[in-house]
Amino acid sequence: MPSELVFPFPFVLGAKTKAAPHGFIPALHQGPEVFWADRAVTGERGAWVPRKLEHLQQIYLDNVNFTSRGMASYAALIGETWEILPIEADERLHPLMRTMLNPAFSPRRMAEFEARIRRYAREYIGSFKAKGGCDFVGDFAFTFPIKVFLELMGLPQDEVGQFLAWEHGFLHEPDVEKIKSTTREVAAYLRREIDDRRARPRDDLISFGLQCSHDGQSLSEQELLGFCMNLFLGGLDTVSTAMAWQFWHLARHQGDQETLRANPAMIPAAIDEFMRAYASVATYRVCVNETRIGGATIKPGDMVVMATFLAGHDPGAYPDPETVVLDRAPRHVNFGYGAHLCIGMHLARREMRIALEEFLAEIPPFRIAEDADITYYLAGIIQPITLPLVWDV
C-alpha cells in the first residue's frame, strides 16, 4: 500500500469520543481524494475511503466494478447464506425486489400512517413536556421511531428494550462474538415471526413480504428473512440518529430553532440540510474489477467505505460545508444514490418532519443542559449516546 495513500481514520467500530464527531471531518478532506484506512471495516479490516461526493456517486452507479453483495456479512458471521435485501441484492434480483416491495413504501402508502405517526409523537412529547427536560435520545429519538417501526412490522410494542439491546449489538458492539450472538438471536426471532404470519397473516410488512409477487415470482425463505432483516436494521437506528442530530443542532443554535418555529414550512428543506451536515452512516461496497478512482487503484476484493458523512462535508460539492444553511436544499447521498436509493426514505422523511413539527409546536425553546456530559459513538452509526435537553416551564 503506498504510504502517501494511508490516512488516519477515527471512525472505527467501538470508538467513542467526547468531541463532536463531525468536527474530525475537515482534516480528512485535506488528505488524498481516496485513501486507505486501517481497521475501517468492523474495527478489523482495512478499506478504501473516498471522501468526495462525486466519487461516492460514481461508485453507487457502477454496478460493473463494485457490488453491494456481502457488504454487511452478518449471515456469513454465523455460517448462513441469506443477504440483507434489497440492499445486498445483485443486479438480477434487485430490480425484481424493488418492483415487488415498492408498493409497501410508496409516498401514498406512507401518507396513510400520517395520523398514527403524529399521535405517537404527541404521546411521547406529552409524557415529558411538563418536566422541563428529557434525554432526547432515550425518551424520544429512539422510542418514537421504533414504536412506528414495530407497528409496521406487527411486532410487540412492549419489547422496545430488547430491540434497543439488539440495535447496540448490531451497530456499536466491537466484539465480533457478541455481533454473532445478536445476529443469531434476531434471525431466530424473525423466523418465528415469519412462521406466525404464514399461519395468521395480518396487515403488516412481514405479511406483505409473504404475499407480494411479480410475474409469478415471490420471495424465497432466504430472501424473506433478508428482507425482514433489512427492515429490522433500517427501522432501529438511522431515523433515530438523524433526529438526535437535528435536535442537537437546534439546541445549540437558538437562531435556527427560532427560524423553524416561526416558519414550519421550512422544516422539509431544513431536514435535508441537517442530513447533509450531520450524516452518520457508512455502508460498504466490494470491488469486483480493478478500478482507478481519485488517484487510488482499487483491486478485486478490496472493501470501499461509503462514508456519507465525508461526502456531506465535501468542500468541492458544498460551499462552506461546516455551516448549516437551513434553506440550502442540498442533494445528498444519505439515502443512497441511484438504483439502491433507500426503500424507506418516504417513511423516514415523514417521521423526521412530524417530530420537528410537533416538538417545536409543543415544547418551549430548548437547550442542552448545562451539566450535560455527552459521549458519541464514532462508528456503526455516528450518534450522541445521550442528549439532555431542558426548557423553561
- Least confident among 101-115, 138-152, 318-332: 101-115
Is residue 233 in some structural domain? yes
Q: Residue 55 and residue 296: Cα distance in Å, rounded?
A: 11
Res. 333: pLDDT tops 80: yes
pLDDT-derived band of residue 151, with 50, 70 and 90 as boundaries?
Answer: confident
Q: Residue 193 and residue 186: Cα distance in Å, rounded?
A: 10
Mean pLDDT along residues 168-197: 91
Say what the pLDDT of residue 71 is: 67
Mean pLDDT along residues 176-203: 94
Say what the pLDDT of residue 96 is: 76
- Structural domains counted in the chain: 1
The domain that holds 103 is classified in CATH as 1.10.630.10
pLDDT-derived band of residue 231, with 50, 70 and 90 as boundaries?
Answer: confident
Is residue 345 in some structural domain? yes
pLDDT tens, position by position, 27-36: 999 999 999 9
- Least confident among 59-63, 68-72, 335-339, 384-388: 68-72
pLDDT tens, position by position, 45-69: 999 999 999 999 999 999 899 998 8
Say what the pLDDT of residue 304 is: 97
Is residue 15 in some structural domain? yes
Percent helix, strand and coil across the chain, each rounded to 5?
A: 50, 15, 35
Q: Which residue has the higher pLDDT, 344 or 241?
A: 241
Cβ-count burial 218-238 (b if 16+ within 10 Å, e if not): ebeeebbbbbbbbbbbbbbbb
164: containing domain: 8-30+97-280+320-391
Say what the pLDDT of residue 72 is: 64
Report cis status (omega within 30 of 0) of the bond before 86.
yes
Q: Residue 355 and residue 346: Cα distance in Å, rounded?
A: 14
Is residue 74 in some structural domain? no
Is residue 347 in some structural domain? yes
Say what the pLDDT of residue 69 is: 80
Per-residue cell: 26: 475537515
8-state DSSP, 232 = H
Cβ-count burial 93-124 (b if 16+ within 10 Å, e if not): bbebbbebbeebbeeeebeebeeebbebbbeb
Res. 236: pLDDT tops 80: no
pLDDT-derived band of residue 181, with 50, 70 and 90 as boundaries?
Answer: very high
pLDDT-derived band of residue 89, with 50, 70 and 90 as boundaries?
Answer: confident
**Hey, what long-range contacts does 257-266 have (CB within 8 A, 24 or more apart)?**
257/360, 257/365, 257/366, 258/365, 259/326, 260/326, 260/356, 260/360, 261/360, 261/365, 264/357, 264/360, 264/361, 266/326, 266/327
Beta bridge partner(s), residue 281: 381
Beta bridge partner(s), residue 79: none
Mean pLDDT along residues 226-250: 89
Mean pLDDT along residues 223-247: 89
Q: Mean pLDDT across the chain, nearest whole number?
A: 92
Q: Residue 278 and residue 90: Cα distance in Å, rounded?
A: 30
Res. 177: pLDDT tops 70: yes
Is residue 242 in some structural domain? yes
Mean pLDDT along residues 198-211: 93
Res. 303: pLDDT tops 90: yes
Q: Residue 106 and residue 111: Cα distance in Å, rounded?
A: 9
Sequence-distant (≥ 6) Cβ neighbours of residue 221 within 8 angstroms: none
Percent of the chain residues topping a pLDDT of 90: 68
Mean pLDDT along residues 93-107: 80
Say what the pLDDT of residue 17 is: 98
- Least confident among 44-58, 192-206, 282-296, 330-344: 330-344
Res. 161: pLDDT tops 90: no
